[in-house]
Structure 1
């Protein structure tokens, strides 16, 4: 039993690769391709760990997994799946899977997970309930798999989450998913955009106020912390919070207590914090515009959302999803011609998923035909191919000139500041494309792995936030 692994996989090529790799690690492997055969082998013997696909020859590999986990708590189960959706990741987590790997996966990472599972057989997530329907996120791209896996890892704990990403990438959707699928789902979900609240009112908005606390406070008001008691408080655009409010927020996070403006009594609150920002907080910390201690308090579990340009393969399913939403809201029912999909894929989508949603709703309303074609897309959102800058347009060089004009680095820092501005998006792109694997990212970039690791440390880029 000490070295036996059960592999349940109906793709013979994948099964052979995994079996060979496990054998090279010294494991004995029993292999089958169906739910029925898996159950028979489990009834007949014990295994150090189980690797199972989801779509098997005779059914869903996740069916009955919760029962197996409950009965055999010392036998970790690793789930493999080509059904790369948030629903699949959450189902695997809810069934008590030790780890989840979307296909295609990094074989070295899989073997490392098997080794960890064999050593940590009793370190298991708690089996939960069936996931909620209507999961809010769409996309099966490799870039989104890291997001899904990070979400599943925080569902059964109250660790603070910091969601990072450009405007329009869906940060609030991630926060909602963490709440809806987590153990606090029966409690309230309260969202507050800290950038939309005037600085003089933000403390009252978050912590509430007593009657007479300030001019206009004619009644007592309950703040967002108290409203979210027992549930989740989502602090959006946290990078725009005024300095004074940052100090009071830090105190509340440290103590688990708040005090209303004008009040004397401290009130205990039980709130899970999820924060989000589209800003790079590192330079703001250096410039004294964001508290470093608050950053570390918030950045317990970072989740990096990829921009739409880094998940182009998700544009078609997203567009079809938004067409369905538009029809549900009473707009004409439309479909997409393949040429329209191609046109959507070459658009730059600087506003990310939010811009795509608005464009699809506009197409649903105004397209001349029920089948939307490329001409309709170009008329509604412009001809991206015609307007896209080329190398001869000096697009990148021009962007660098604009950055230099706006950033105005201090004297003596111009070269290194420019280099950092260039390297950060380059390294983040490479890590996102390789699921946080530094060796593969270095190969993609064409540089030495040690060089990459050194620069990641200097730029304060955490490769783990891109892991899948």
Structure 2
């Protein structure tokens, strides 16, 4: 084990004492400081081999001092500790030149390992001015599982390594890809996403690489593919586990050679893109069943990011729910807030649809609820599919939000599977009957008025009433 001189800076006396004694047991020489002023004096006197510093100090920000410390002591590893456990803090610590970032509360053994790694590396780090790092980033949550995600993102934004994001549907895999793009050197360049599960097998190669005029029936003009559209930026390959084997082979060749040709083309095009892929499937199991290429997996899985399901990060649910309600209010929906009993109910829910399900629930409540404070009753009612809003309120944006939220809940009920085929006709048929009933109820069974409201002729309305066996007499009587 390599021992060294360690300076620990934290305004909490208990933390200083615990860390100092733990590091001394590891054989290091340790001094401590409680402020920026004390840190500067100790740096000059003690000349540490490694610095451990908190961010929020009584007389300054420890993170802001990292470039200064590195300028005076080139090659000195800096480990940043912070209770501000956000993605922005993790990224900024890395961009300022920190060797490691550990969120508070931290594990002593993990800190000791980071110190040992830092002393072994003595890596020379250049000063990087933070650019474009905002607190308003798409990933939200301060749970330990999300801290691991933030730290991985912070380590890859400054390089071009290929990233493979694992996570259940609805956990935010595209948000991770966008964060890496927006915080990296390719920010400002195209971010192009393609979902392999949403494209017919026979069209995937054309979608990815483009095609020339006449390459196949219907190809009337040259069309650029996603690789060409993303030149200079990032290409996000979502649901990579759904890519057919033949397309996997061609993608592997592009990753190996760094160039591609369009379908029907002969000229090689250089692929200047960063690849980020994502999947909710068990790729190693697919490899074992000859459903996914092992060599492609290793090409993509250079840096894995594992996104936790929402049920494994219950401490983040309240912050996420408030964020989604605030955003709904900014978009023009009614501004709502959550009562204490609602937060307890949200935390107790299993969230099979993960963060996407929570977002849709908050938007649905913002669109449809009459009450300003959302309680557990409304949460239960909405989760169970109940509705308390009459037809006149379901207009404009609210109707779109309600339909989207309902369909999202339907998809979420299947977990990682997809609904049965024929979804389009089935959903339209299921929406048509309640639409007819509610419209006729609103006009007390007046078919002429109902046909006008619906924008269809009276004969069409009569046929639909027969098809759905709707009782007009009951609707005329009203509630």
TM-score by length of 2: 0.77
Contact 1:252–1:258 at 8 Å: present in 2 too? yes
Q: Structure 2 matches for 1:208-223, cutoff 5 A? A: 208-223=210-225
Rounded Cα–Cα distance in structure 1 between residues aligned with 2:294 and 2:176: 24
CA distance 1:131–1:33, change in 2 (3 Å): farther
5 Å-filtered alignment, 1:295-334, equals: 295-334=297-336
Residues 52-451 of structure 1: pairs in structure 2 closer than 5 A: 52-124=53-125, 127-133=128-134, 134-382=136-384
Residue number in structure 1 paired with 2:35: 34
Question: For residues 129 and 286 of structure 2, what CA distance do their matches in structure 1 show?
Answer: 40
**3-state DSSP class of the match of 1:275?**
strand
CA RMSD of aligned residues (A): 1.8
Could you list the per-position Cα deviations for residues 373-413 of structure 1 after superposition, in whole angstroms to 9, with x for gaps in the alignment? 11111111139xxxxxxxxxxxxxxxxxxxxxxxxxxxxxx
Q: Alpha-carbon deviation of 1:290?
A: 0.8
Q: How many residues align?
A: 384
Equivalent residues of 1:98, 1:125 under 8 A apart? no
Give CA-to-partner distance per residue, 1:408-434, whole Å, 9 cap, x none.
xxxxxxxxxxxxxxxxxxxxxxxxxxx
Q: Supply the distance in 2 between the matched residues of 1:136 and 1:67 (Cα, whole angstroms).
A: 30
Q: 1: CA distance between counterparts of 2:252 and 2:126?
A: 30
Secondary structure, aligned partner of 2:202: coil
1:39 positional shift = 2.5
Relative contact order: is structure 1 or structure 2 higher (C-alpha 8 Å, sep ≥ 6)? Answer: 1
Per mean C-alpha deviation after superposition, the further-off stretch among 364-373 and 347-356 is: 364-373
**C-alpha displacement of 1:131:** 4.2
- Residue in 2 aligned with 1:414? none
Segments of structure 1 that go 5 or more residues without pairing to the other structure are 384-468
Quote the Cα distance in structure 2 between the aligned partners of 1:311 and 1:97: 27
- Structure whose alpha-carbon radius of gyration is higher: 2
1:277-330 deviations in Å (ceiling 9; x for gaps): 010112211111111111111111111100000000000000000011100100
Q: What is the CA–CA distance in structure 1 between the aligned matches of 2:126 and 2:236, rounded to whole Å?
A: 25
Q: Distance in 1 between matches of 2:193 and 2:68?
A: 36
- Mark the runs of 5 or more structure 2 residues left unpaired by the alignment: 386-479
Deviating more after overlay: 243-252 vs 100-109: 100-109
Displacement of 1:45 in angstroms is: 4.5
Structure 1: distance between partners of 2:54 and 2:26: 21
Partners of 2:129 and 2:315 in 1: CA distance: 32
